[in-house]
Amino acid sequence: MDLIRVTNEGLYCEPGDFYIDPWRPVPQAVITHAHSDHARWGCKVYYATDRCAPLLRLRLGETLPIIEKKWSEKFKLGSTWVSFHPAGHILGSAQVRIEHRGKVWVASGDYKRTDDPSCDAFEPLNCDTFVSEATFALPVYKWDAGEVTARKIYDWWKEDPDRPSLLFCYALGKTQRVLAELMRFTDKPVYIHGAMEQMTHIYRQAGIPMLRTRSIFEHDKSYGFKGELILAPPSAHRSPWMKRFKEPQTAFASGWMQVRGTRRRKGYEKGFALSDHADWNELNQTISETGASTIFLTHGRTDVLARYLEEQGKTVRLFQTEYEAEEEAS
């Protein structure tokens, strides 16, 4: 019997009687991280890391019934032992390790291996079966170090001091990573969209060093924002919110920017390939390091990665889930 299987509600562990990141309300939800496609309202009880919990309460309500756990703390659910281990995706993001009758399964949630000063680094885990995402599972996706990409963002910001610089990025995870990565090059404050303020405050409370941030509403409408960097979510692009910025230069920070055609289709002048997911090499490195003989793939380019792993002698199976691509639900 598989330790985890897909149901209408989500990934279900029958021996533990719990669901991992369910997409419909269930009695017991074990949550990997706070992006909205992995953490949804309506469950009777939520298990999550203590670093993830404040983000869950912000998104799903202050009275959310959460049982908080530390990294590596084992707790019993049904006849299984469960623990959370860093996934390196965003603040508090976790892999779920499950022990049952001498077998170990690990569900990765979303993860990355690239260094990121805004969250805990990924922890490789040995297991018999590994459940992996496959968001960027194509060889074309290969990330530079965050410091390299942050330098490109900084240089773009500074190269045109007569224009506002609008960098669009996802509100949870990417915004805070940009603010943390840029600390290597400047101490100048950055303006952020209101949708990012509370999440960024939670990161500061967790002790994550980031650039100081300001609200655009500190100034009246005559302020030009020349030479300033402003971070905003993709939903603000080409919206009335942008009217207060005169002739801004625009860019988008996302793993999808690795492919230039994507930037052109989305209407940004510049693209920076900065992702909170594993690239092709990191996916294969991680799967190899687990030592798992069986790999389940969830969302992303599962077809290409599955063929490649099968050529390496792995047993590969697919889980059809309702998770989305890179932070589209963030």
pLDDT tens, position by position, 242-261: 988 999 999 999 999 998 76
Which pTM value belongs to this model?
A: 0.95
Mean pLDDT confidence for 212-225: 91
Exposure string for 297-317, b = 16+ CB within 10 A, e = fewer? bbbbbbeebbebbeeeebebe
d(CA 68, CA 104): 22
Residue 327 pLDDT: 47
Please indicate, yes or no, if residue 21 is contained in any of the structural domains.
Answer: yes
- 164 vs 58, 149, 208, 229, CA distance in Å? 30, 20, 26, 6
Mean pLDDT confidence for 179-195: 97
pLDDT band at 220 (very low <50, low <70, confident <90, very high): confident
One domain, residues 91 and 162:
no
Mean pLDDT confidence for 307-320: 94
Angle at 267 (CA atoms; ends 266, 270), nearest 5 degrees: 100
One domain, residues 115 and 53:
yes
167 phi and psi, to 5 degrees? -105, 115
d(CA 306, CA 79): 31
* Number of domains composing the chain: 2
d(CA 193, CA 168): 10
Average confidence score pLDDT of the chain: 94
CB atoms closer than 10 angstroms to residue 218: 8
Residue 133 pLDDT: 96
SS3 28: strand
Residue 264 pLDDT: 63
Residue 286 pLDDT: 98
Please indicate, yes or no, if residue 259 is contained in any of the structural domains.
Answer: yes
Please indicate, yes or no, if residue 203 is contained in any of the structural domains.
Answer: yes
One domain, residues 222 and 259:
yes
One domain, residues 131 and 47:
yes
One domain, residues 218 and 306:
no
Please indicate, yes or no, if residue 330 is contained in any of the structural domains.
Answer: no
Helical (H) or strand (E) element with 265: helix 260-266
Contact 234, 252 (CB under 8 A): yes
Please indicate, yes or no, if residue 328 is contained in any of the structural domains.
Answer: no
d(CA 106, CA 108): 6
Beta strand 165-168 with 229-232 is parallel
What is the percent of the chain with per-residue pLDDT over 70, rounded to a whole number?
96
Which span out of 46-60, 214-228, 232-246 was modeled with the highest average pLDDT?
A: 46-60
Q: Residues 202-214: pLDDT tens digits? A: 999 999 999 999 9
* CATH code, 17: 3.60.15.10
> Closest Cα partner for 255 from 133, 163, 157?
133
Over 80: is that where the pLDDT of 326 sits?
A: no
One domain, residues 30 and 134:
yes
Note down the domain range covering 125. Answer: 5-140+276-318
pLDDT band at 324 (very low <50, low <70, confident <90, very high): confident
Angle at 107 (CA atoms; ends 104, 112), nearest 5 degrees: 125
Residue 28 pLDDT: 98
Over 50: is that where the pLDDT of 228 sits?
A: yes
Residue 200's Cβ-side half-sphere holds a number of Cα atoms within 13 Å equal to: 26
Tokens 């897909």 correspond to 6
Q: Residues 111-163: pLDDT tens digits? A: 999 999 999 999 999 999 999 999 999 999 999 999 999 999 999 999 999 99
One domain, residues 16 and 68:
yes
What is the percent of the chain with per-residue pLDDT over 90, rounded to a whole number?
88
Residue 57 in tokens: 């309460």
What single letter denotes the amino acid at residue 10?
G
One domain, residues 181 and 238:
yes
pLDDT band at 329 (very low <50, low <70, confident <90, very high): very low
* CATH code, 216: 3.40.50
One domain, residues 204 and 282:
no
pLDDT band at 31 (very low <50, low <70, confident <90, very high): very high
pLDDT band at 263 (very low <50, low <70, confident <90, very high): low
